[in-house]
Structure 1
């Protein structure tokens, strides 16, 4: 899942992004309304966490402009404007998909983001199966031939991408873009190291192969 956090309070934005990344989400940050609009044109985000009080262009204006797009991200307004009138206005007049007021509990934010990601027309199944590997998205649980395997959020996200394409190759760039975020140096060894640990935990050293020039694929 790819998430954009639109928040001009730098410390709060980094805190939210760090927490979501620990939940195996790829997260980018925008600090102004015009930056949000530009980033949504350049990348496909599943969920936008949007502060209403942004500089340059308000979150309200961003929401209205994105709603004019053919395929906008799901929008969760995260704001200090918490009266009943504020919430109704955000949901009914601006077209936000969800509304959460500050201060907030982070576990609730994660639950709301995940719920929004399931509300898209082509929502993914809760459990993915491929060649004896099953991934339960609701439980964040992986089983290989019935055996439970404990994975980190990044390992889980990489395996999910590989299972979703069912034996096709996933490029190094696609993994960086979807599992990490745009700020990760593409030359880093993070992807190779994660894949290597994943092979070991699966107990299947040949299950994930690296195709030169193509990427990684499942081949069990």
Structure 2
């Protein structure tokens, strides 16, 4: 997947600059333009065709929610100090992929962007037709039996889960690490978490001598 292009929309010039800096620090993302009102945002989307818009709600000429209703064929992440439920509900109904309440940290935005990139990757990998577990994973509705341990991320866990499922056979931690680009130790932690969730199982492979090799099989 090529780099993802982002349009930042905020009426405050300094805030827009800060958010643009946050985006630029996330690998795989770049800011293609900044807009400070709704009209300029709509024009920039039409001209530049970004992949994602970071859209503020409080704009000088129109509400960001009105801008959201006019945007087609582009994903939108709402960013606003508004935290009342009707506003959040309207953003969801309008098709926003996420909603981040100001002020937020660079880490909070980075997490949302990485989740977004991971979802796009999985959509591309699914192919022309999706299975129910594919759809459940994309919409975040898979039931989990164990909480995410400290130091593990949901996006990376999904990456390991996809690698294990798509392998069609059992994998060792080293093999999973090679497929995902993680270290062997990190891959093993995610594989163990998938086992704790009931989505994978440990299958020891016994050799002629020594301790058995730990292998992991996808269950779904």
Number of positions where the alignment pairs a residue of Structure 1 with one of Structure 2: 129
1:30–1:95 Cα change, 3 Å: same
* 1:56 Cα deviation from its structure 2 partner: 2.0
2:63 paired residue among 48, 58, 63: 58
* 1:86 Cα deviation from its structure 2 partner: 2.2
Contact 2:22 2:109 (C-alpha < 8 Å) held by counterparts = no
What corresponds to 2:25 in structure 1?
A: 22
Moved over 4 A (4+): 135-139
1:85–1:58 Cα change, 3 Å: closer
Distance 2:42 2:14 in 1: 21
TM-score (norm. length: structure 1) = 0.51
* 1:136 Cα deviation from its structure 2 partner: 8.9
Q: Greater Rg, structure 1 or structure 2?
A: 2
Deviations 1:108-146 (A, max 9, x none): 11111222233344369x69xxxxxxx99987x9xxxxx
Contact 1:74 1:117 (C-alpha < 8 Å) held by counterparts = no
Distance 2:16 2:62 in 1: 17
Contact 1:74 1:116 (C-alpha < 8 Å) held by counterparts = no
What corresponds to 2:193 in structure 1?
A: none
Distance 2:39 2:106 in 1: 26
1:123–1:34 Cα change, 3 Å: farther
Distance 1:101 1:117 in 2: 20
1:39 paired residue among 44, 48, 53: 44
Task: Provide the secondary structure at the position in 2 that maps to 1:118.
Answer: helix
Distance 2:16 2:179 in 1: 29
TM-score (norm. length: structure 2) = 0.51
**Unpaired runs of at least 5, structure 1:** 128-134, 142-220
* 1:26 Cα deviation from its structure 2 partner: 1.4
1:136–1:53 Cα change, 3 Å: farther
**Unpaired runs of at least 5, structure 2:** 127-158, 161-177, 184-220
Contact 2:54 2:78 (C-alpha < 8 Å) held by counterparts = yes
Q: Which has the higher contact order (CA 8 A, sep 6+)?
A: 1
Distance 2:181 2:81 in 1: 29
Distance 2:5 2:180 in 1: 15
Task: Provide the secondary structure at the position in 2 that maps to 1:34.
Answer: helix
What corresponds to 1:78 in structure 2?
A: 79
Structure (1 or 2) with the greater helix fraction: 2
Distance 1:64 1:116 in 2: 20
